[in-house]
Amino acid sequence: MSDVNAVKLDSFAEFPCHINTSDTKYFPDLSYTFGRVGVIGDGSCFFHSMCMCMFPKYFEMSRKERQDFVKQLRCDLGEQYTEQEHLALHKTKYPFKFKEYMDVRKSWCNLSAWADESLIRFFSKKFKINILFIDFDSKDASFYCGVHGDESIEDISPESHWNRLPMVMVAWIKKSHFEPICIKDEENGCYRFYFDPNHTNPKIAKMNRSIINSVKTKYACQCKIYLKSKS
């Protein structure tokens, strides 16, 4: 899928036709149209993607205002990133490459520093959201395994912590750029990035839960995670 390029800023692009057609959908049990929306590519594309998913006011900002907002967000999170938090991230059943604390610490407030797994996992932890990545540089746009938010992903029981948290998805383009993944909500005339199973609107909450369940099942299958009930 190396022919997939970044999307123009604020524009929507459906998943490529060879993985998402009327006959064969990326998530076959879902009828929604999935796509990506373009974000600023300044080294903080992960944070721009998260802001687009989580903060409605972000859409009303100019390019400069968005960069200032992301800069402040990064710096604020960096202030909270202690050495204890750094070490705690590595106490996981889904290990990732270890970096020295100060190397990670100084990258937080640098707008041009790419988000590595330490920053992504800490962001997920602080905002209590599950973040999954689809690698558009892989053959069939497979999930990137190991980064998925809360560690209770294996538990399929309704009260599972993973199942009760909001979920967002991110496209990884050419191993160098992130873009938020959304669905085109035809009924409400908008794009939906943030899938909250506890949404105040029961209809939307039900829709979000169906999306979360479908995505989680496909992720677990691709990443060889055995789902089971712990209740």
Instruction: Output the pTM of the full model.
Output: 0.92
- b (16+ CB within 10 A) / e for 116-135: ebbbbbbbbeebebbbbbbb
CATH class given for the domain over 12-222: alpha beta
> Residue-wise pLDDT tens for the chain (231 aa)?
455 788 999 998 887 655 554 444 677 778 888 889 999 999 999 999 999 999 999 999 999 999 999 999 999 999 999 999 999 999 998 999 999 999 999 999 999 999 999 999 999 999 999 999 999 888 778 899 989 998 888 888 877 889 899 999 999 999 999 999 998 877 656 689 999 999 999 999 999 999 999 899 889 998 998 888 765
| CA gap 144, 219 in Å, rounded | 9
Q: What's the pLDDT tens digit per position in 49-106?
A: 999 999 999 999 999 999 999 999 999 999 999 999 999 999 998 999 999 999 999 9
